[in-house]
Amino acid sequence: MAAPLSNIRVLDMSRILAGPWAGQLLGDYGADVVKVERPGVGDDTRQWGPPWLDKEGASESAYFLSTNRNKRSITVNIANARGQKVVRDLVNGADVLLENYKAGTLQRYGLGQDELRRINPRLVYCSISAFGQSGSRASDPGYDAMIQASAGLMSITGPAGEDTGGPQKVGVAIADIMAGMYAATAILAALNAREHSGEGQTIDVPLYDSQVAWLANQAMNYLVDGVAPGRLGTAHPNLVPYQAFSTLDGDLMLAVGNDRQFGACVRCLGQPSLAVDARFARNSDRIANRDELVALLQSAFKTRTTTHWLAELNAVGVPAGPINDLEQVFTNTHAQERSLVRHLTNSVGLDVPTVSNPVDFSATPVSYERAPPLLGEHTEEVLREWLGYSGRLIAELREAAAI
């Protein structure tokens, strides 16, 4: 059976991470995603290495490879009038345009949402930017780390209290990735709405607003009690015990989610009386007496190995897991059983490992058709296929530095 979005054409004019992440998801679901890149340079992340994947002079950065599978690459110079005409021609046959330039940039080239939706009223035009398309900060630039900082995430990430480690950013560019996820779901919603209205629409996805939106319980904690939450290290603001503990030979992550699990946990640790202790019997009690309880549990965990405690806790249904590095993540049995790594071959014969999309459809499987493309490798193919351009016209556009 065909992939879920096999009838959808996406013009991906984005670069770096947030937009390309959304485009990759749409490609995974079967859309024909055409990545529009700057001639000779391409997406900035093509240069974001090491590490590199190399073969016979072809070199691709791991960063670029992480977010650009299931796409075709064409090069178009949008500063060139004939290049702008190429984009407008492509838009005429597209369902979605995805971009993450600074607000107002594409308008300067006659490629803004008003101009392009006049050409194709059914177009879904999705813009991702640092602070959105309106407001006093609309023209401000922004990268993931500054968004994590300014939109609140770093204030709740890192060691607790006055630890000299201070605030920390998350180890991946999560503000970008989540904005890309919001963009992908918004695009799907807009495509569904188009089925009823016959009209496309514009979508505005700011990194800042997205970051604030997924602060989830931490944001609501503040809105309910007016107290800005602080850093708790690995601990949870609303559940105790829910944090990392040191063992005799390492560490584990304990995630007790209710009073039953707490009782099972302390029985494993040989301290069943803690389950009926008035200081700890209910989750609210445990939050009030967090430091005292954590000290008691930590003393117990230090007496045996990580392997011992994980076996004991898992046997009684208490969520707990090892703190794995990425080598352990990708080489363990679960990774093999779930095929968490796929291998694709690109156009120069290079084997490209890629992390699987986590979604498993029962009838319309995720697509793993294309390795991340070499810069501009599909320019002629797409211009012929989408637009019916002749070889002569394509040669003229190359001569004019439009593509």
**What average pLDDT does the segment 78-107 reach?**
97
Annotation: CATH topology of 9-214+336-399: Rossmann fold (3.40.50)
Instruction: Please give the Cα distance from 168 to 233 (Å, whole number).
Output: 10
| pLDDT higher than threshold 70 for residue 57 | no
Residue 58's pLDDT band, with cuts at 50, 70 and 90, is: low
> How confident is the prediction for the chain on average, in pLDDT?
96
Cα(263)–Cα(266) distance, rounded to whole angstroms? 5
**Among 114-128, 136-150, 195-209, 237-251, which is the least confidently predicted range?**
136-150
Q: Are 258 and 241 in contact (CB under 8 A)?
A: no
Query: Which strands sit side by side in the sheet containing 202-206, from one edge to the other?
Result: 71-75, 32-37, 9-12, 96-99, 124-129, 202-206
How confident is the model over 250-273, as a mean pLDDT? 97
Q: What is the mean pLDDT of residues 336-357?
A: 95
- How many Å separate Cα 8 from the centre of its chain? 21
The vertex-346 CA angle with 341 and 351, nearest 5°, equals 45
DSSP 80: S
Neighbouring C-beta atoms of residue 325, cutoff 10 Å: 8
> Options 1.25.40.390, 3.30.1540.10, 3.30.160.270, 3.40.47.10; which CATH number does 242-323 get?
3.30.1540.10
> Is 176 noted as a catalytic residue in this protein?
yes
Q: What single-letter amino acid sits at 277?
A: D
**Sign, CA torsion 349/350/353/358:** negative
Domain ranges of the chain: 9-214+336-399, 242-323
Catalytic residue among 12, 32, 176, 204: 176
pLDDT for 164 beyond 80? no
In this prediction, residue 161 carries a pLDDT of: 76
Nearest to 99 by CA among 197, 194, 196, 14: 14
pLDDT in tens, 184-232: 999 999 999 999 999 999 999 999 999 999 999 999 999 999 999 999 9
User: At 311, is the pLDDT very low, low, confident or very high (cuts 50, 70, 90)?
Assistant: very high
Among candidate residues 63, 72, 64, the one with its CA nearest the CA of residue 10: 72
Measured in whole angstroms, how far is the alpha carbon of residue 33 from the centre of its chain?
A: 17
- pLDDT for residue 59 is more than 90: no
Return the exposure string of 330-343: e unless at least 16 CB atoms fall within 10 Å of the residue's CB, then b: eeeeeeeeeeeeee
pTM over 0.85? The answer is: yes
| Confidence band, pLDDT 50/70/90 cuts, at residue 168 | very high
The torsion angles phi and psi of 176, rounded to 5 degrees, stand at: -65, -50
332 DSSP β-pair partners? none
Decide if 23 contacts 10 (C-beta within 8 A): yes
